[in-house]
Structures are given as C-alpha cells and as structure tokens.
Structure 1
Amino acid sequence: MTTLAAEEDQRTRSITQHPSHFKDNPEPEPFCVGGVYTCPCCSYSSKLQFNFKTHMSNHLKQAVRHEGYFICKCNRQCRTAAHFHCLYCGHTILRKEQCQLHLSQCNIHTSRALPSPTASPVPPLSGSNAGTQQQIKAGSPSPSPTPAATSLLSLPPKCPERPPPQSQRPTVKCRHCGLTLRRRNLRLHLRRKHKTLITTMSTSSEHQTHLVLENYIGGKFVACGDSIDSYDPSTGQVYCSVPDSGQDEVNAAVAAAKEAFPDWSSRSPEQRAQVLNKLADLIEANLDEFAQAESKDQGKTLAFARTVDIPRSVHNFRFFASSVLHHTNDSTQMDHMGCLNYTVRSPVGVAGLISPWNLPLYLLTWKIAPAVAAGNTVVAKPSEMTSVTAWMMCKLMQEAGVPPGVINIVFGSGPKAGDTLVGHPDVPLVSFTGSTATAQRITERSAPYCKKLSLELGVKNPALIFADADLEQCVATTVRSSFSNQGEICLCTSRVYVERSIYPQFLEKFVAAARKWKTGAPSDPGSNNGALISKEHLEKVRSFVALARSEGATVHCGEGVDRLELPAQHAGGYFLPATVLTGVADSSRVMQEEIFGPVVCVSPFDTEEEAVARGNNVRFGLGAVVWSRDVGRVHRVAGRIQAGLVWTNCWLIRDLNLPFGGMKSSGTGREGGRDSYHFFTEVKTICVKH
C-alpha cells in the first residue's frame, strides 16, 4: 500500500472508529438522534450505522484532515464551499483560524480523545489563536471563553444552505412531519408515509359509509337540521346527505364573512397569495382522493377528473394568487391644471358565489380564487347535487391558513339557500354559473340592491367546418368537443355545420368516431364518458332525441340505436351513449334549446354567409369553432360569429389571462385575469392638485 493510500486509510479509520461517533450503543454521539444518523456535511441521513460509516468515509476521502478537524472540499455534496468540521461534535466552522478556538470549547473534545492521526500536523496559526494552539498541544487547561469565542459557539450545527438554483423546482414542507421536499414528490411522500391520513378523505372506497356533510361557517363545520339526498349517478344509489340550508345558515355565513372582511382586506396581496398557494398545494397532494370523489359525485370518468377537474382547480388558485400581484393602476398628469389623477382598486366586501354541477370543484375555485385574492370574503353555494369535493376542500382550510370567515361554504338548494344568498343586503356582488332561467330569478332578487352581477348561462355552441379544413384533425377534435364529460361542459359543441362538398365524408368519419367513444363505468380506464348527473337530466336528454326522431330526424348512433354494456353494479346508472342526429330543422327545439348532454346535430351548408347566419340563429352565444386553412376566412368568420369565445382549428385552449363570458342569453360580464380582478374590486379615481 502506498504512503498516500495508507494515510487515507488511517484517517478514514480514525473517524469511523471514533467511540463518540460509532460506539455500539442505542444513540451514539453526536450524529445519532432518535436512531437516525445525520451527516454534518450534507442532508444525508440513514438508520443503518454501516451505511453512515461508508458515507462519512467518502467525505474524508475528499478532505484534508488535521488534528481534531478536517477541511471539507466536497462541494458537490455539501451545501457550502470549503469549510471545516469538528471531528468530535460535528460542528461547522467557516474559517480555519477558528478551528482551534472551537476545540478549546468542545465538551466532547475535553472528555474523549481521537486515535492518534498520521496526517500532517496542524499548520501554525497567527494572532491570538496561535497561543491557544500552543496551550492545547502542551496539555494546559483550556482558556476561558472570550466574547468572540462565545459567538462562535452559536454557529449552526449544520452547513448553511445555499440558495437553490433558479432551475430547481420549488419545494414544499409536509404538513404532517415537516419534511422539506420537491413539490412533485409530495404526493408520493404522503402516500408512503401518511397513507392513513389521506384515505380518511377518500369517498371512493367500496366500504365507504354514508357521508353526512356539514356547512363550513366561520372556520368551523356546522350541522344543519334539514338534508338532501345526493346520488351516485353511476349507480343511482344514495350515498351522501347534503345540508338543506335556509335563511338561518346563510345569515350566519354572511355575518362571519362580514366580520372577517376588515382583517382580510387589509392584508397585502402577497400574504393573500401565500394562503391560496398553500391551499393549492394541499389539494394537489390529495389529487387522487379529490378525483375519486368528483367522479363518484358527478358521474364523470375518473380519468377526466384526474386530468382536468382537479388539476385545473389547483391551477385556479395558483393563477389568481400570482396574477393579483401584477395588476396596475392608471394615472394621468394634467400639467396645465397642476393636477395628478390616479386610480386605486379596493375589494368590495362579501361575495356571493354559486357554482354548477358539471365541473364542481373546477368552477367553484374559478370563483373563489379571484374573489379571495382581491381581498373579498366569500359565501359560496355549490350545487346540491355535487357538494362533496367542496366539503373536502373545507377540511383543508385551516391547514392552509385560511382565516375563519374568509371562505364560507353553505350547501343547499337554489330556491332556499341560493335565493337567500343573492337577496341578502350585505352581499354586494354575485357570481353565478347555471341556467338562464335561474339567472332571471337572481336578477329580480338582486335588483333592489343594484348588485354587481357576473352571469355565465346557457349555451348552444356551433362548429363551422369548411371544405379546406384538415378533415382528420377536425373529426377527432369535434368528437371530443361534442361528447367530453358526457357533453356536460358549457363549451361543448351541440351544432355542427359542414360545407356540403365534404358533408358525406365528414358524416361517415364522425359517426364512426362517435361509436368508438365509449360510455361505461367511470372507474374503467377505457371509458370516455361516464353517467349523466341525474335521472331527471337523463330523461330530459332522451326527450330531445325522441322529439327529433318524431320530427323526421335520423339517429345515426347512440340513444335508441346502440346498446350499452355496463357492469351489474351500474345497471341503475344514468348512462347515455354519444348520439349523432341529422335532418333536424333549424327551427326545431332540438336546434334552439340547450340539451347539455352527449347529443349533437349535423347539417350541411353551401356558402360562408349561410354558415354564419345559421350559427348565429339561436339566442345563445358563448363559444364557437371555425375549421378552415384559409387565414382570411378564419379571421372574417370569427369576427362575425356572435360568441364570447371563438376557436379556429382547435378547441378548449384557454389562456386564463383573457376574458371568459358569453353574448346574448349566454350571460353578462366577463371573468378571468384582469376581468375577474375588476369584477371583484371597486375602482376609485383620485385627483391631487399640486
């Protein structure tokens, strides 16, 4: 063995054989706490003493060892540049001149001794520390600590952390054990280490007991005397009891929100954003449990809930937590008058939020996030048919740091809880997504108080397909836009107009693709669609198909044509296959009224003018799709279509910075990005003469 290798082997043995480090006792000092060995150089830890010895040996192979300490140079493993560690207690020392001064104060050093090293002697130190070194070598008593020495003893026992590189993804801390880890690893950590804590929120287990939900008012769960049965759409069985809240519950929620408003509105946007981001992290950590609950509660496929509903709910919180930090005010300078004008925006107060059943948590967070980020407090009422994920979110509020009263959730029906909420004098603004008929009632109830209203209502979205379109892409996307989520999306296509020259070819491909769009058990990975929301809604959709057939329409696939093959446990579910109709007159109720199911009407057209006119020939105007390779035509037709959102050669690509809302009977107002911020705030103009 060479001299260099012998020296390296000796200094490796000297540290790994140190009795204070690796003596066979339950908790060797000083690196073993609670049976876990932690490296003083880096974040490595292990319960196995052998693995820890090996790890420390690797450190020493890259270190220059002196008497009682070694210089750490393994920059890739440690959290700082070259520094020093005491071999007795593991203490971090940032400067070589301080090593001997620390040794004079090290309790373990005075009571235990290292094996005699073979490494080179300690280089002479200058100044006052040199005298200290000579005292130690001569075996003289340790000097009393000086003020400078006392400050050295307060150094942290571990290497100081360097700021993570900008490319590193953000870290989060586990709310249960405090462990810091990368955000993408949080869910895996929770599943492995805290499985029992997660499964308590799941509603998908076959052995799940009957759920009884409670209102969330003032930071506490409050029981309600009356209840509503909630059904699993895929089985038709009752599995949940939802509070049937009335005037007392709504009044209590509004009072709690009103009380919390002064404190919450006075917080900085950064403080409010921190709370929203924390809530987003907690929902994301329990993504699978939320997805299972959403699928069971609404009837949609588990895959859709996992990839769309819950991830978008998380993104809603993060997006508005970020965007609220970047809004600016306006200002003008009037030099000839010596005046400066500027605007400021302030939160309004208590916001009343009513969300629908088709995308329960997705659309509830779409309203809560901007309202709370802007400084308002909220009283939200989810649909009584899909309330479970809202209730699950309430269970995370306290952990996320949401102050009591900032977010209040009241469950119940529209005629009782909803009517009371929108007519409450202490609720100055209302955001609603639902039917046009319900919006008319909201307008009437809120009119005496001149409330701010944002209404997203009924739809009858067209797709205009011209002969120069990419047919393969067009067919695939139109099937998805027509039938996704059982057609229960406000942006789904329900009318398809195809240029006559390609109409037969398109229809053949479209019907074939619709037949392959599988309707089945929500938990089946092969299912594209699950069940419709309720038995009443299923009968409504079927009645429109029957009406079309009675008026001479042709049913190419779906209802009454294709037979569904469902597992026995889903025999009582509310399933309807993807249905394609042709030969439906534009004046028919099937073409004019909202169906909100997996039913689409296909018709030919001859000219661009005809296509635009027929596309606009309904009282709704939320979304539309235009398919053409002609850039001029795309811009021309998109500009003439009466819709709040128009996609060309694609569907459902959304930038949340841009407005969302419809024309005509599809609603009033806009939400998203700056528009949401403006809706949930009041603007004030201030003029200062100087």
Structure 2
Amino acid sequence: MATQRTFPARRHHPASFLHHCPDTDARQGKHGTHMHQFINGQLLSGTSGNTLDVINPATSEVVETVRLASVTDLDAAVAAARSAFPAWSRTTAGERAGILQKFARIMEERAAEFSRVESSQTGKPLRLTREFDVPGTIDNIDFFAGASRHLEGKATAEYSPQHTSSIRREAIGVVGSIAPWNYPLQMAAWKVLPAIAAGNTIVLKPAEITPLTSLMFAQALTDAGLPDGVVNVVVGDGASVGAALMQHPDVDMVSFTGSTAIGRTVLEAAAVNAKRVHLELGGKAPIVVFDDATLDAAVHGAVAGSLINTGQDCTAATRAIVHRSVYEEFVAKVAERFEGIVLGAPGDTDADLGPLVSFKQRDHVAGMVDRARGYSKVVAGGYAPTDGGLGDGAFYRPTLVVDAAPDSEIVKDEVFGPVLVVLPFNTDDEAIRLANDTVYGLAASAWTNNLQRAMRATREIKAGCVWVNDHIPIISEMPHGGFKQSGFGKDMSAYSFEEYTQVKHVMVELDGVIEKDWHRTIFTLR
C-alpha cells in the first residue's frame, strides 16, 4: 500500500544560528536582518528580493530566513576573488599553511556550535555531526595546512644540451564551486581547502537550503587571517546564480558536486569559455558479499554503509550483491537490524537516524520504493513513520528491497535515501558483472577472506574507491572521486592539487649562442 505523505505546517524556531555566534551585531543589518552573503570579507544581505526559509527537516521549524543573492551579488563576489588572486597566489606555502593551521584551531574551539548548526539545517543527529562531520572537516584543514608546503613541480634539469628545464605548478585563478546539501560543512571544506592551499581564490555557492555552516566556515577563515576576497560565499538559487557562476567569464575553473544530470549542464556551460571542470557526481555503490565472507561483519557494514547520513551519500552502499548460499541469512539479519534503527531529531540522544533533508527528497525516495512494490518485495521499512513525534519531520524508515530485476529502477537509479536492494549471485564472474552493471563508478566494497578474490575485486570493479571488508571510511590523505558517470577529478589528498593547479614548462637557454642550429630550418643568413 502506498504511504500517504503530507507537508506539515512550518514552525518558526525561536533562535537562529547567528544568535548562537559571538559578535551578533556585526552579522546583522540595521534592522536586525541577517546577512547571508560573504563577499570580500564581509557578511552582506542578498539583493535579489527573494527569500528562502532554511528548514530543520526533523521538526519543520524555520531555522533562518535567507535573503538570496542576485547575479549582481555574484558579480561582486567574482570581482573580489579576481582582485585578491594576484597577491594570494604569490604568498608562500608557509604563509598559507600558517593561516590554515590557525583556522583548524578556531574550528576546534567552535566545534560544538558548528555541530549544532549543521544538525539544525540538515536534521542530522548530533552524534553524526559531532563525531563525523566536524572532526572530519578539522582533519581536512590540518591535512591541507601540511600539504600546501609540499606542492611542487619538477626540479631544474637538462633535457636538451643547450637548455635547462623546470616545471612550475601554478594556481589556476578564480574557482567557482557549487556544493550539495548532504554534507554542507564537509563539502565546503572539500571545495575551499585545496583551492586556496594551491593559491587560488574561490566563490562558493552552497546549496541554498543548507547554507549556514558554509557562511560560518568563511567567517572563521577570515578570523584566522585569510585576506579579504580569497573566499567568498554566495547563497542564491541554481537557475540564476548557479548558472551565472558556471558561465562567468572571470571564473577560470568550475568544481561541482551533485547529480549526474546537473553535472552534464555544468560541462556544457563550462565549454563556452573552455573552463577547467572538476565533477563529483552520483553513485550506486555495490557491496559484494562472497560466500567466504564473515557474514556478521558484512551485515554490519551493509547497515552502516547504506544508512549513513540517512542514505544521502553518493558512496553509500545501495546494492548488496550476495552469494546465493548466504543470501537468505544476510537478508534476514539486515532486516532485523533495520527494524531496530531508532529515528529521531538532532537533540534525541537515542536517535540513530535523522530525516531526509526535505519533504521533497522524502517523497522522491518514497515514490521509488512505492513503484518498486510492483516488481519486487519490501521486507523492511518502506514507509514514513508518524508515531513517536516523528510526524512533523521528513523521516523515512530504513528500507530493504529484494527480488528486484537487475535492470529495474530501484537497482539502476540513484535513490539517495535509506534504501538497500539485495541481489543474489552464483559465481565470482557474475558478482563482478553485477557490480559493474551501472553507469556510475564512485565507490564499491568487497567482502571476503580470500586474498585472490579481494585482489580481483579491487582490480576489476570499476570505481574510484574499492574497500575490502569495510564500506564508507574516508581519510584526508587518500583521494575521493569517481569513474564513468560519477565524474572525474579528486577531492581530498594531495591528488586534489591536480585539479586546482596548472603545469608550466620553463626553459632557459644556457649557451648564449645567437645562431642556433635549428634556425637554419627556418631561414638562412645571407
């Protein structure tokens, strides 16, 4: 039976994120209007004339009302970034590292506040923001503070008898970045840190429904000593401000994280000015469980990997491909775990799982599950709860689906919610084929105690990351990025500098000879 979904009335929260922060007056306009644009080192109000409520999806309370940016605001942000670029790109690696080190310590001091605000705008349990989102962001900052001092090209050498050559690795210029709503704080870090550590300046457009911690992030960077204009945050809608950022003639590079469909439009827009593009797009990650796997470990990994961030993660485990000999036991154990998951609002200390980011997203997930009932079986979840005080939020029970055909919508398309589909396989060849039977290639995992099987899986599964006997952990030192329609380029790690720098060959003539031998191929002195 289809679950009826309604939109509860919104309720205003008595306090905004700015009221929790120090120096509140500096963050408000003359009439107490909150500022939601960060341009050239200042918090400003958007001039589009349009507003948008930032909603806590766990309670439907209005956390903040944002005055959205206009294209004029975007132009000002790009101009600030362009003006700041020459000086910032000439700072030493040590100077940039010093600012980032101070920034990390400021973030540690404000960690509790960042956690509260991140939870309020996304509905995430505080357990997740305190133990994952904020600590992960601080670790990223510390990493790039160190990595910025190791950004180098190739040392001078002679590859021609008459010349010496070296490679300079230089900043690209102004970066236009568009970040998604699922991890607002961490995505701001992933976009901003490698860009500025390499000497670029940046205009970041966060998702307009979750912009608050991105603004706090930019303010904290300024407090750490970052020069005005190096990092700018513009909060506007995608159709106008996002499109203008991608096409802006003074933006040298575009970095986008989001859906594959929108990624294609980014490529088209960037092609007009031949901008460099970095894309991190969708995913449909398989978790392949072989017959020799430690089954309980695979079950735990599947539950954690599929439900992290309420499944709103492009690396989340979405397709469990399980050997037929352990298939039924795996399904039963995952279903039992799913049924025991506790849903709740951010402040609920017992909550394992928060809501979807919005009712629109919840309806998208529910619609896919409801359609799947016509060709598969839902063995756990599959509905929006209304009991236990959850009726005001965009909650959806963890959902387990079986008996779906490999070419069905629920198996092929990105759900982006707490939904796991289980498929059986008989042979290793079939398992690898099913794992690769997707247009995506962001992440995957293989569960086995056989070394040869593990090595084959890591070699033959086409994904940017393949875990063995685990699913979802990421670390700052290692790259994150996809194959196929999951995009190209890397976030995190020193590999991300490949996206945010350009290579220049410098060649110096050594001999002082006026007439070079090769000149005679062009002209003869008479």
TM-score, normalised with respect to structure 1: 0.68
- Counterparts in 2 of 1:417 and 1:370: CA distance versus 1, 3 Å: same
* Equivalent residues of 2:123, 2:357 under 8 A apart: yes
Contact residue 175 and residue 202 of structure 2 kept, 8 A = yes
Structure 1 Cα separation of the partners of residues 235 and 481 of structure 2: 26
The amino acid that maps onto 1:663 is F
2:433 corresponds to 1:613 = yes
The DSSP-based 3-state class of the residue aligned with 1:395 is helix
Q: Which moved more, 1:488-497 or 1:655-664?
A: 655-664
Partner secondary structure for residue 59 of structure 2: coil
Counterpart AA for 1:272: R
Q: Which amino acid aligns with 2:457?
A: V
Paired residue type of 1:667: G
Question: Are 1:645 and 2:438 an aligned pair?
Answer: no
- In structure 1, distance between residues paired with 2:394 and 2:248: 36
- Local SS of the residue matching 1:324: helix
Question: Which residue of structure 2 lines up, in the alignment, with residue 377 of structure 1?
Answer: 201
Q: CA deviation at 1:685?
A: 1.1
Number of the residue aligned with 2:521:
none
Q: Which residue of 2 aligns with 1:555?
A: 378
After superposition, the CA RMSD in angstroms is: 1.9
Deviation (angstroms), 1:201? 5.5
1:624 aligns with 2:460: no
SS at match of 1:520: coil
2:13 match: none
What is the CA–CA distance in structure 2 between the aligned matches of 1:546 and 1:202, rounded to whole Å? 49
Matched, 1:580 2:400: yes
Cα distance change of structure 1 residues 255 and 633 upon mapping to structure 2, 3 Å threshold: same
* Partner residue in 1 for 2:21: 200
In structure 1, what is the equivalent of residue 517 of structure 2?
Answer: none
1:57-96 equivalences in 2 (<5 Å): none
Q: Which amino acid aligns with 1:274?
A: G
Match of 1:217 among 39, 55, 59: 39
Q: Deviations over 1:84-125 (max 9, x none)?
A: xxxxxxxxxxxxxxxxxxxxxxxxxxxxxxxxxxxxxxxxxx
8 Å contact 2:36–2:68 — kept in the other structure? no
CA distance in 2, matches of 1:669, 1:594: 21
Partner Cα separation in structure 1 for residue 475 and residue 233 of structure 2: 28
8 Å Cα contact 1:211/1:240 also seen in 2: no
CA contact (8 A) 1:320 1:373 kept: yes
- C-alpha separation between the residues in 1 aligned to 2:146 and 2:19? 28
Partner of 2:72: 248
Shift in Å, 1:335: 6.5
Change (3 A) 1:613 1:199: same
Q: Which amino acid aligns with 2:494?
A: R
In 2, Cα distance between the equivalents of 1:335 and 1:440?
41
Shift of 1:361: 0.6
Alignment deviations for residues 198-240 of structure 1 (CA, whole Å, 9 cap, x no partner) = 943699xxxxxx9834201111112123222221101123231
Residue 87 (structure 1) aligns with: none
Task: Tell me the residue number matched to 1:273.
Answer: 97
SS in 2 for 1:590: helix
Shift of 1:334: 3.8
1:317 Cα deviation after fit:
1.5
Note if contact 1:213-1:388 (Cα within 8 Å) is conserved in structure 2. no
CA distance in 2, matches of 1:634, 1:398: 46
* Paired position in structure 1 for 2:212: 388
Q: Which residue type is aligned with residue 240 of structure 1?
A: E
Aligned to 1:159: none
Match of 1:689 in 2: 509
- Determine if the alignment matches structure 1 residue 436 to structure 2 residue 436: no
1:282-304 Cα offsets, whole Å, 9 max, x none, are: 12111111101111101111110
Structure 1 counterpart of 2:178, one-letter code? I
Partner in structure 2 of residue 499 of structure 1: 323
Greater CA deviation, 345-354 or 669-678? 669-678
| Aligned-partner Cα distance in 1 for 2:391–2:125 | 16
After superposing the two structures, state which structure 1 stretch, 225-234 or 488-497, moved more: 225-234
Query: Aligned ranges for residues 387-536 of structure 1 at < 5 Å?
Result: 387-536=211-360
Alpha-carbon contact 1:202-1:293 (below 8 Å) kept:
no
Secondary structure in structure 1 of the residue aligned to 2:150 = coil
Q: Does 1:598 align with 2:426?
A: no
Shift of 1:443: 1.2
| SS of aligned partner of 1:343 | strand
Distance across 2 between alignment mates of 1:640 and 1:625 = 12
SS in 2 for 1:402: coil
The answer to whether the 8 A contact 2:140-2:492 is kept is: no
Tell me which residue corresponds to 1:672: 492
Q: Structure 1 stretch 348-357 or stretch 385-394: which is displaced more?
A: 385-394
Structure 1 contact 519–529 (Cα < 8 Å) conserved: yes
Are 2:382 and 2:397, in contact at CA under 8 Å, matched by a contact in 1?
yes
**Equivalents in 1 of 2:277, 2:419: separation in Å?**
31
Q: Are the equivalent residues in 1 in contact too, given 2:156–2:167 (CA < 8 A)?
A: no
Return the letter of the residue paired with 1:212: H
Change (3 A) 1:484 1:340: same
Cα drift, residue 654 of structure 1? 2.7
The answer (yes or no) to whether the contact 1:564–1:577 under 8 Å persists in 2 is no
Superposed CA deviations along residues 473-502 of structure 1, whole A, max 9, x for unmatched, are 111111000111100111100000110111
Identity %: 35
Distance 1:668 1:266 in 2: 28
SS of match in other structure, 1:319: helix
- 1:264-319 Cα offsets, whole Å, 9 max, x none, are 11110111111112222112111111101111101111110011111111122111
- Count of residue pairs the alignment pairs up: 484
Q: Which has the larger radius of gyration?
A: 1
Distance 2:102 2:230 in 1: 15
Output aligned runs, 1:209-358, within 5 Å: 212-225=34-47, 226=49, 227-331=51-155, 333-334=157-158, 337-358=161-182
Amino acid paired to 1:242 = V
Q: Which whole-Å CA distance do the structure 1 matches of 2:481 and 2:94 have between them?
A: 28
- State the SS of the aligned residue for 1:361: helix
**1:636 aligns to what?**
456
After TM superposition, give the deviation of residue 688 of structure 1 in Å.
Answer: 2.7
Structure 2 residue matching 1:239: 3-state secondary structure: strand
Q: TM (normalized to structure 2)?
A: 0.89
User: Relative contact order: is structure 1 or structure 2 higher (C-alpha 8 Å, sep ≥ 6)?
Assistant: 2
Query: Structure 2 CA distance, aligned partners of 1:601 and 1:453?
Result: 33
Return the alpha-carbon distance in structure 2 between the equivalents of residues 213 and 625 of structure 1: 43
Task: Compute the displacement of 1:417 (Å).
Answer: 1.2
